[in-house]
Amino acid sequence: MNTLFDKIWDAHVVSDLPDGPQQVYIDRLYCHEVTSPQAFDGLRERGIRCLRPERIFCMPDHNTPTHDQDKPIADPVSKAQVDALERNAKEFGLTYYGMMSPDNGIIHVVGPEKGLSLPGMTIVCGDSHTSTHGAMGAVAFGIGTSEVEMVLASQCILQKKPRTMSIRIEGELGKGVTAKDLALYLMMKLTTSGATGYFVEYRGSTVRSLSMEGRLTLSNLSIEMGARGGFIAPDETTFAYLKGREFAPKGEEWDKAVEWWKTLRSGDDAVFDREVVFDAADVQPMITYGTNPGMGMPIDGRIPADANPKSLSYMGFEAGDSLLGHPVDYVFLGACTNGRIEDFRAFASLVKGRRKADGATAWLVPGSWAVSRQIEAEGLDRELAEAGFEIRQPGCSACLAMNDDKVPAGKYAVSTSNRNFEGRQGPLSRTLLASPLTAAAAAVTGCVTDPRTLL
């Protein structure tokens, strides 16, 4: 029996090119300000329009500041990119959620929360973390600028079909262990190239027990294992999350959709090109020590003897070091990985009754204005303020050095984002990837701390 990936992919194949890629229909294209300008220029040069503008949604997120969004963007490069996206969306008749719009936010947070990303869809965006939307039971993946132009013009893309991989995790996650820790654990085990060329389906009782936010985090990080994308079969958790959302089906259409979505699963006899199995009991709170997301370890562990010397030199660490107690200068809660309401609830639950550590800078950045509104509605902003924290305005923020939120050279940041490459959060900055709970623990102690000791 075919896998779920085969079912969705094959249903979207328009044609097969002889000895070449397949032409695949795309249900949803998301555009942000970084990879789309040249694609729109290509349409102008060819004198063509977007084939299906109603299936394309645009919003700035990478370059948007997380303060004073009601004022013009100060950085000229960022301003030019954001302005260009707004002009392009207007010229080509596309839905645009601009800065200060109540619908704006990080594109990979907004898509699911508005019900734009639905089970069974094919979804693309000029951004590698498009795999996030796979949590909805969709085949979602990042594409390049020339491919963005292809989808704008034809609502199709030329792609070679990826191989399939099953990652099955069974059992119950332990105290203080989150979906982010699970993802970092998988990367530690499989390395950043362990899923190269595959489209991953996450399966097993552990995955089924994850909340929608947890599934979004897990799917988001698929690309960091080298995967083309990652996804999770839709179930009652998915349906409950989607029901009533703006772009989700309504009334009889909802009932029909759910009936179909329930068929979207790999059969017990489905054959994957590769299968791996893990035990949830082996997963602990994780932290990275190097310069790629696969260089991680349990938070109470020690840096492996075979760790890359160049990475350790950049980070200022040595093999055999424990990171517990290591001073932390910055803490970042946010990004398309961990900028959702559940992440803020987790952070707030740990810092409640405590105070932000003296000398630590904390950037708490919601993934969307919808998340920001929910933070206020639940009173989390007041709880966090009492602990010395401030909620910033939505955007990609310190995930990457494309806006004002840059970690200074040589400083250490415990970050809930997705990448810890050299200079990712600012030139010569040093990033330790971790969960919202571990970030919260660092924020109130001023050093790397096992969150289990504070729960």
Per-residue pLDDT reduced to its tens digit, 147-164: 999 999 999 999 999 999
**Is residue 75 a contact partner of residue 177, using CB atoms and an 8 Å limit?**
no
Residue 202: give its domain's CATH number: 3.40.1060.10
Residues 99 and 129 reside in one and the same domain: yes
Give residue-wise pLDDT tens across range 48-65. Answer: 999 999 999 999 999 999
Residues 169 and 48 reside in one and the same domain: no
**Distant-in-sequence, close-in-space partners of 378: CB < 8 Å, separation ≥ 6:** 341, 345
Give residue-wise pLDDT tens across range 370-390. Answer: 999 999 999 999 999 999 999
DSSP state of 423: T
Task: Specify the amino acid at residue 420.
Answer: N
Task: Please give the residue range of the domain that contains residue 56.
Answer: 4-159
Higher-scoring residue by pLDDT: 20, 293 = 293
Higher-scoring residue by pLDDT: 19, 119 = 119
- pLDDT of the residue at 268: 87
Model confidence at 111, in pLDDT bands (50, 70, 90)?
A: very high
Tell me the helices (H) and strands (E) count for the chain, helix number first.
16, 18
Give residue-wise pLDDT tens across range 241-295. Answer: 999 999 999 999 999 999 999 999 998 899 999 999 999 999 999 999 999 999 9
Residues 181 and 117 reside in one and the same domain: no
Please identify, among 159, 183, 203, the residue that sits at the C-terminal boundary of a domain: 159
CA angle 253/259/265 to nearest 5° reads 135
pTM: 0.97
DSSP state of 356: P
**Residue 1: pLDDT over 80:** no
Give residue-wise pLDDT tens across range 64-93. Answer: 999 999 999 999 999 999 999 999 999 999
How many domains is the chain partitioned into structurally?
A: 3
Please identify, among 240, 256, 282, the residue that sits at the C-terminal boundary of a domain: 282
E strands present in 32-162: 56-58, 95-96, 122-125, 139-142, 156-159
Task: Specify the amino acid at residue 273.
Answer: D
Give residue-wise pLDDT tens across range 324-365. Answer: 999 999 999 999 999 999 999 999 999 999 999 999 999 999
**Is residue 296 a contact partner of residue 224, using CB atoms and an 8 Å limit?**
no
Nearest to 32 by CA among 72, 78, 74: 78
Residues 266 and 415 reside in one and the same domain: no
Cα–Cα distance measured from residue 439 to residue 437, given in angstroms and rounded to the nearest whole number? 5
One-character DSSP codes across 296-328: EEETTSB--TTS-HHHHHHHT--TT-B-TT-B-
Q: What percent of the chain has pLDDT over 70?
A: 100
- pLDDT of the residue at 72: 95
Residues 278 and 420 reside in one and the same domain: no
Residues 293 and 429 reside in one and the same domain: yes
Give residue-wise pLDDT tens across range 115-126. Answer: 999 999 999 999
One-character DSSP codes across 232-248: ----HHHHHHHTT-TTS
Residues 273 and 291 reside in one and the same domain: no
- pLDDT of the residue at 129: 98
**Distant-in-sequence, close-in-space partners of 205: CB < 8 Å, separation ≥ 6:** 169, 170, 171, 172
Residues 120 and 181 reside in one and the same domain: no
Residues 303 and 399 reside in one and the same domain: yes
Give the C-alpha distances (Å, rounded to integers) separating 421 from 69, 179, 354, 361, 403.
28, 21, 32, 21, 17
Cα–Cα distance measured from residue 237 to residue 192, given in angstroms and rounded to the nearest whole number? 29
E strands present in 61-153: 95-96, 122-125, 139-142
**Distant-in-sequence, close-in-space partners of 33: CB < 8 Å, separation ≥ 6:** 60, 61, 62, 63, 81, 82, 84, 85
- pLDDT of the residue at 19: 86
Residues 264 and 309 reside in one and the same domain: no
Question: In sequence order, what are the beta bridge partners of 28?
Answer: 123
Average pLDDT, the chain: 97
Residue 304: give its domain's CATH number: 3.30.499.10
Q: What is the CA radius of gyration of the chain?
A: 21
Task: Kindly state the average pLDDT of the residues 311-317.
Answer: 98
**Residue 31: pLDDT over 80:** yes
Please identify, among 130, 159, 188, the residue that sits at the C-terminal boundary of a domain: 159
Residues 415 and 311 reside in one and the same domain: yes
**Distant-in-sequence, close-in-space partners of 70: CB < 8 Å, separation ≥ 6:** 100
**Distant-in-sequence, close-in-space partners of 113: CB < 8 Å, separation ≥ 6:** 105, 245, 340, 368, 370, 371
Task: Kindly state the average pLDDT of the residues 204-221.
Answer: 98
Give residue-wise pLDDT tens across range 411-455. Answer: 999 999 999 999 999 999 999 999 999 999 999 999 999 999 999
Residues 181 and 154 reside in one and the same domain: no
Give the C-alpha distances (Å, rounded to integers) separating 334 from 68, 133, 266.
18, 17, 32
